[in-house]
Amino acid sequence: MNRSTTTKIGVIGALYFSQGIPNGFFRHTVPVVFRDSGISLEQIALFYPALYTPWMLKFLWSILVDRFHSEKQGKYRSWIIPVQFITAGVMAGLALWQLGGPISMFILGVLLINVFSSMQDVSTDGHAISLLNFGERGWANAVQVGTFWVGYVVGGGVILMLFGSLGWSNALLAMAVIYVLATIPIVLNRTSASVNFSALSQTPRKTWGGIVDFIRQPKVLKILGLVAAYRLLEGFIRSLLPTMFKDWGMGLEQIGFVLGVVAPVAALAGAVLAGSLANRLGRLQALLVFGSLQAVSALGYMLLTMQPANQTMAAVLPVVVVDHLISGMTTVALFSVMMDWSRKTHGGTDYTCMDCVGVFAMMFGTSLSYLLASQGGYSMSFGIALPIVGLSVFAVWRLYSAILQERHWQNLNAAESPAA
């Protein structure tokens, strides 16, 4: 790996680390706060996914990014830097709220964090696509997923674990400071993108038309269906864990350690493993093999729910480790395919369109799993996840096979790699 590639991957890694912080906070800290505030599983099923709406609307942010930016500072860089600082400011403002206070203030703060961090996500995805060549994406995607999970440790693990010693306010302020520090690499580095975007932002059609052009591509609905089928499992299987562990009597420090430290480390290991295996297996085989392994995750959690005596740290840890090892592998497999199917000239828009559909599917899976858990318990939800895994993998196989029959997608990255 040459110095240029190392520098690019380092900058991208710092940005995905930043992404992980609010994601971990939202996925683990927020549900626990909701449960502590007396919110039922039915209410969480309807309310919690609604807070993720900014992530479902990322295609709107992609239009703004593609249309309004500074060529001098860089198309995506001119958005990433200010949005990073604004997000840190909201985190610091949320430190003024205290546990047990008006839940509406907490909800507003979380919603604003999701708005600005979703804008950062769009810009970072586009920045990565414009910087990385096809041959750099294998390890880059491993670094992307790995650093994301390291940030996840901060937002979803460290924050919960520090509540007891530092208190809510100091823990949130620490998170904001770390977020600012993660901005330094892109502030100091102005690595040039491999595409000149100066001509792409001068006409409304090239901005607003980016989404239309993406949708008009042949068999694009099959691509969106594939992404949705794969991401639905993420929300269905893993969204229940914070509230389930809380209902089992685990403390905040324990939940923070299991889901915010152990789980991301396992996912990081899975990402590294997938980074070395993805190119050997090929895109389709990686999707199918890694996706099928999620049945192991669902089965493990189902067995835990059926044995109350096993609902202890000693029993939970191995299941969480295996599950998140698999999660890291599936994420690398899907992200690689999504990058392959993103045009460099509209990388942020294309990738974001796919990701918006994926986020919607993930939140749908989240709502469905919470509703099932509220009616039949956690065991019912994980039991139903087993056949859903099979249906999802089958759908991915059929859709990917159909997509590859279209010459347009075969040739999208032909200039970079014959394996595209």
Structural contact between residues 114 and 26, judged by C-beta atoms closer than 8 angstroms: yes
Residue 209 belongs to what domain range? Answer: 3-186+204-411
Residue 304 identity: L
Whether 405 maps to a domain, the answer reads yes
| Predicted local distance difference test score (pLDDT) of residue 308 | 79
Whether 391 maps to a domain, the answer reads yes
CA nearest neighbour of 366 among 223, 256, 199, 243: 243
Tens of each residue's pLDDT in the chain, 420 residues: 566 667 777 888 889 999 999 988 988 888 888 888 788 898 888 888 888 889 888 778 877 887 776 667 677 888 899 999 999 999 999 988 887 778 888 889 999 999 999 899 888 877 887 776 666 666 677 788 778 878 888 888 888 888 778 888 898 899 999 999 998 888 887 655 554 444 444 444 555 667 777 777 777 888 899 999 999 998 899 999 999 999 998 888 889 999 888 988 898 889 888 887 877 888 888 899 999 999 999 999 999 998 876 678 888 999 999 999 999 899 888 988 888 777 766 666 787 788 888 989 999 999 999 999 999 999 999 999 999 999 999 998 988 888 877 666 656 555 444 443
Structural contact between residues 182 and 14, judged by C-beta atoms closer than 8 angstroms: yes
Whether 199 maps to a domain, the answer reads no
Structural contact between residues 384 and 299, judged by C-beta atoms closer than 8 angstroms: no
Whether 417 maps to a domain, the answer reads no
Q: What is the CA radius of gyration of the chain?
A: 20
Whether 416 maps to a domain, the answer reads no
| Predicted local distance difference test score (pLDDT) of residue 296 | 95
Classify the C-alpha dihedral 62-177-239-51 as positive or negative.
negative
| Encoded tokens for 157 | 């693990």
Report helix, strand and coil shares of the chain as percent, to nearest 5.
80, 0, 15
Whether 163 maps to a domain, the answer reads yes
| pTM score of the predicted model | 0.79
Structural contact between residues 77 and 12, judged by C-beta atoms closer than 8 angstroms: no
Adjacent-strand bridge partners of 70: 74
The Cα–Cα gap between 109 and 94 comes to: 6
The Cα–Cα gap between 200 and 344 comes to: 11
69: left (phi over 0), alpha (psi -120 to 50) or beta: beta
Structural contact between residues 189 and 11, judged by C-beta atoms closer than 8 angstroms: yes
Structural contact between residues 94 and 113, judged by C-beta atoms closer than 8 angstroms: yes
| Predicted local distance difference test score (pLDDT) of residue 4 | 66
DSSP letter for each residue of 180-199: HHTTHHHHH--PPPSS--TT
Adjacent-strand bridge partners of 74: 70
Work out the burial of residue 343: count CB atoms within 10 Å of its CB; fewer than 13 is exposed, 13-18 middle, 19 or more buried.
middle
Domain tally for the chain?
Answer: 1
Whether 196 maps to a domain, the answer reads no
| Predicted local distance difference test score (pLDDT) of residue 372 | 94
Whether 344 maps to a domain, the answer reads yes
The Cα–Cα gap between 413 and 420 comes to: 5
- How many CA within 13 A on the CB side of residue 93? 15
| Encoded tokens for 272 | 């590294």
The Cα–Cα gap between 151 and 19 comes to: 7
Q: Which residues of 82-92 are buried (b: 16+ CB within 10 A; e: fewer)?
A: ebbebbbebbb
The Cα–Cα gap between 125 and 209 comes to: 19
Any idea what the CATH number is for the domain that residue 144 is in? Answer: 1.20.1250.20
| Predicted local distance difference test score (pLDDT) of residue 199 | 45
The Cα–Cα gap between 172 and 21 comes to: 11
| Predicted local distance difference test score (pLDDT) of residue 281 | 84
Structural contact between residues 114 and 55, judged by C-beta atoms closer than 8 angstroms: yes
CA 54 to chain centre: 13
The Cα–Cα gap between 89 and 84 comes to: 9
